Structure 1
Amino acid sequence: MTQKAEALRLLEETLKELESQKGSVFAAIQKLSRAATLLGNEDVQIWCAIQFADSRYVPELENLIKLATSNDDQASKKFQSALDVIFERLKAIGLKHEIHFTNDELSQKASQSGGGYVSVGFIEERYADLVRTKRGNDGTYYKNNLYSHLGYVRNRAHGFASDLFNQLKFSDTVSNSFDVLKAAVDDKLLDLNPVLAEQLMLAFRGVSSSKDEEWSQALTTCRRLLEGIADHLHPADTQPVKGRVLGKAQYVNRLWAFMDRAIESESNRELAKAHVDFLGSWIEKTNKITNKGVHAEVGQLEAVKAVFHTYLVVADLLDYLDSGKTSKPKSDINTATIDELEALLDISRATAKEIVKARVQYGKLDKLLLSKIRGVGPKTVEKAVAAFAL
């Protein structure tokens, strides 16, 4: 296996780990680190090492937090001088602001009750212990703070892994691959709403310009586009859905509500929940970038990334819209193969065989008969109702 193929495999496993509700953040970052090493990406390697509490980097980062959270007058020359010294030390060991230590990350690491700069593996273990023992804290670590810390690391790792995966997967065919995606999204969006489609195409054209004001405008257009899609797919409502406010300004929540509604099967909805959440986080990230476009000078690369990610987000939304329009008929449990029973019900081969034997014995299965089969519990019956015409 080539280094590229191995790195792709590791990145795929990283993303699966991060997008699974039961996935391990520690295991995901281990795989991300190995992939970054294979690809020679030193920035991601260093960030992963920091998450493992590498002693080459952590002491100086802790010094930065200690200074930032001190009672010293931050406007004073003494404070600024001390800050400059720490930043020089961080630079000397290869650390870069906004890559290896963002302001958000420093805020998370500043909380000792959330784990601070200990290894993410330890943080994950402490959180699991508190969940298992049903405690809010153990006197040192607090469950909510640990959860927040893990959530931040999970999202940041997902961003790194996604970028590396996309760069590697399409490194030889970036133009052709994106052209295929762009053409499909443009066509579908033109059918759905020509005005929105034109906005997206104009944003794409804007990032190809040599004028920085057009890059900023493209970012603003991305946000407006997402708001417009939300208005079309799930208009504002005064009634919250699953605790999410669905007002005019909460367009991300309304997109989430649409996706929750568009996934018909309850079991599939649960499996897709992690993906929905990550899609929502990408929309939020795009929103933050576009807001930056209003208040700061925007680089072309930043604008291009925002437009590309917007295309990916819209492609997913349109796919869910299509799936909601064409509801496929459910299979019949009485004619399903053993392989289908095993896969759709997430049961063992032995239990699948028992179902086949039972349907031969009874002639036709219903919920009651199914529940009497050895190895079939209430959860399996629920999955059977969702997957089959039962």
Structure 2
Amino acid sequence: MSNKSIKEVEKIILESLNELESPKGFVEIAVRKLLRAAKILNEKEIVDWCDIQLGNSEHIHELKKLLRAFREEKSNVEKIIQSLEEKGLNMDKHFPIEDLEIKINDSSGGYKGIGFIEERYNDLVRLKNGNDGTHYKNELSKHLKYVANKTYEFSTTLHSKVVLTEAPKTSFDVLKEAVDDKLLDINPELAEKLMVAFKRISSESNEEWSQALTTCRRFIEELADTLYPPSPKEINGRKLGVTQYINRLWAFMDENIASSTNKELAKAHVDILGAYLQKIHKQTNKGVHSALTRTEAVKSVFHTYLMVADILEYLELDLEKKRGLDIMTATLDELQSFLNISKNVAKEIVKYRAINNSLTIKDLKEIKGVGDKTIKTAIEVYGVL
């Protein structure tokens, strides 16, 4: 992992810790930031834990069944636990006894998302009520403290791992670091995808190798969409439609790389990688997962880095400006994450945006819960005027 990548992950983790330590911080935001860092580092156990706490996990339904079985002392508890473990969850990490004891009653919010639980608790505090008929303030508080403590524990563990882990650099490490650094400068989302693909080829799992190949393919498609959007025209008999992302990268290089030698080298990498990924894609569509080896995954990731290095070395582009972060189209989750605000405030922004079709500095000042700090961040992130 490059120095800039390490700093980026460290920054996210520290933001999570700061959110937990701040009297005005939100547990949900801290969990979301931990999730983002864990995804970059490919820490699957922590990713699954975060998804469960946020109410996003595919396992929530079965975990609720487990709670009911515990509550009613049914004999199928072991069977449910076994089913969850077969699907990749670990009782010690994802649903330990202390976790089940916290969530077992509806009064604590159970397996509802931590954002919902935080909202319920804050509502009861504001209204000076002990309960709302279903949820009890004390039980919700215990739940929030438990999730906050576990988030803090996971965040400090990842922080130590990122900061203290050092490895000798190979020649590829030097190239990878240069590519990661530049991509982080111009398009963090694309950089994150490529870093995740590289992390996956270090796994011992065949499924992770397959995911690395899929991630590379999606990365190249998004890179083509950013550099040379689909067009109805043809160049030298090559169509430039949505699915012809390799052709579009060719067209982009024809127009932007002056040196014919550099251009041919870059095109060679694009062609090799494109043909290789298409072959793998056909295999996976046919269910031939056993044929996918780590060597194939490594070759795909390495060729992707070489291809990006060829393109970026000769270009001075600001992909982020071309793609643009737009506060008018940002999702609820993006507003929460980028502006460091609660879900309630993000909802108010979306409501105002929908009604008025406008979000200037003046508009933001009218929205309940938006302060000077949020406005400053909106200007930095979205260029709000």
TM over 0.5, yes or no?
A: no
TM-score norm. by structure 2 comes to 0.42
* Larger-Rg structure: 1
- What's the TM-score once normalised by structure 1's chain length? 0.41
